[in-house]
Amino acid sequence: MPELPEVETVKEVLKQHLVHKTIESIDVFYPGILEDPMDEFLKNILNKTIIDIKRYGKYLIFELNKGYLLSHLRMEGKYYYLENSFMEDKHIHVVFHFKDNSTLYYKDVRKFGRMKYIDKNIYDELPLSKLGPDLILNENIDLDDIYHKIHRSNKAIKQLLLDQEILAGLGNIYVDEVLFSARINPKKKGYRITKKNLKDILIESRRILTLAISHKGTTIKSYTSSLGVEGEYQAFLQVHTKNICPNCKMTLNRVKIDRRMTYYCKNCQR
Ligand SMILES: [Zn+2]
d(C-alpha 253, C-alpha 222), whole Å: 22
CA 180 to ligand 1 center in whole angstroms: 9
Report cis status (omega within 30 of 0) of the bond before 127.
Answer: yes
d(C-alpha 89, C-alpha 109), whole Å: 10
Average pLDDT over residues 254-268: 96
Give the environment of ion ligand 1: residues with CB less than 5 A.
Answer: 245, 247-248, 265, 267-268
CA of 100: how far to CAs of 111, 221, 225, in Å? 28, 34, 24
Do 46 and 12 share a structural domain? Answer: yes
How many Cβ atoms sit within 10 Å of the Cβ of residue 25? 14
d(C-alpha 18, C-alpha 266), whole Å: 46
Q: Whole domain around residue 162: which residue ranges?
A: 143-264
CA 266 to ligand 1 center in whole angstroms: 7
Q: What is the pLDDT of residue 84?
A: 82
Structural domain tally of the chain?
2
Q: What is the pLDDT of residue 226?
A: 62
The enclosing domain of 157 has a CATH number of 1.10.8.50
Do 121 and 12 share a structural domain? Answer: yes
Average pLDDT over residues 19-37: 97
Tell whether 11 is covered by a domain.
yes
d(C-alpha 1, C-alpha 59), whole Å: 12
pLDDT digits (tens, 9 = 90+) for 40-82: 999 999 999 999 999 999 999 999 999 999 999 998 899 999 9
Tell whether 198 is covered by a domain.
yes
Do 251 and 164 share a structural domain? Answer: yes
Do 249 and 155 share a structural domain? Answer: yes
User: Quick one: angle between helices 195-214 and 4-18, nearest 10?
Assistant: 40
Q: Where are the alpha helices (DSSP H) in the chain?
A: 4-18, 38-45, 143-151, 157-162, 172-181, 195-214
Tell whether 80 is covered by a domain.
yes
Tell whether 136 is covered by a domain.
no
Do 203 and 178 share a structural domain? Answer: yes
Tell whether 226 is covered by a domain.
yes
Domain stop point among 130, 163, 191:
130
Would you name the residues annotated as active-site residues?
2-3, 58, 260
Tell whether 224 is covered by a domain.
yes
- Residue 124 DSSP one-character state: G
